[in-house]
Amino acid sequence: MNNLNKTYYIFDVDGTLTKPRQKADNRFVKKFISWSAGKNLVLATGSDFSKVREQIPQNMLSLFELVFCCMANELRDSSGELMRTNHFKPEKELIQDLKNFLIKSKYNTKTGNHIEHRTGMINFSVVGRDASDLERRLYNLWDKKYKERQKIADFLRNKYPELNVSIGGSISIDISPMGFDKSQVVEYLVQNKDVEEIAFFGDKTDPGGNDYGLITSLDRYNIESFRWHKVNGPKHLSELLNL
């Protein structure tokens, strides 16, 4: 990539800049700050801004020109000033379906905060958003074996074809109207910035993952150069960026 001023680097948070729901490592932060000099940086996460602030220190967050939260349904600058939002009022039947999945789940640990309403989307988790790091890891291991999230997502996609349903993070599912996903990041950049090149780094890049919409959206736009990297955490990202 030659023209840095027209190159935009887009980063996911959980599983990319940080371990899921963990604070960014201090050594990683220092190296990332040094690497970022002169670069256009964009954040794209399924989490809300309060969670971003918990995980990313302000000296690192301030480097990002744009911060897309809640699957890009909320756009802020690095100081937190709100620039744009989408709105989604889910049907009562959808909420009841999620409650039924929670009741019928064979996973016994339930920690609370299972249906989280965010800007333009819903985040659903059987184990619950209040789970500790250990409880998250245990559920994720169980889910990899029994594919609970995949089965729930498949059911919802079939019943609600107008909704985008994607697996995000290590314990949850993101639900939003079709088009209310991370593809909005690319759409905004193309419409509002002078973009020739994009580099994206995320962990949920496979079909059904909450980064997939961003990748597939590039087919709709005339961008000279685009590359994306599937990463499995900040250590892997450090290797890709040569930090």
Q: Name which of 1, 9, 7, 11 is nearest 231 in CA terms.
A: 11
Compute φ and ψ for 147, nearest 5 degrees: 55, 40
The tokens describing 137, both together, are 């890891």
Could you give the strand order of the β-sheet that contains 172-177, starting from the edge strand earlier in sequence?
Answer: 115-118, 121-125, 172-177, 163-168
- Match 């954040």 to its residue by tokens: 43
Q: Which helix (H) or strand (E) holds 151?
A: helix 148-159
d(CA 236, CA 238): 5
Query: CA distances (Å), 154 to each of 32, 86, 175, in order?
Result: 37, 25, 12
| Beta strand ranges found along 61-107 (DSSP E) | 66-69, 74-76, 82-85
d(CA 94, CA 102): 13
d(CA 202, CA 17): 9
d(CA 122, CA 54): 20
Please list the active-site residues: 12, 14
Task: Give how far the C-alpha of residue 117 lies from the chain's centroid of Cα atoms, to the nearest Å.
Answer: 15
Cβ 66 vs Cβ 43: under 8 Å: yes
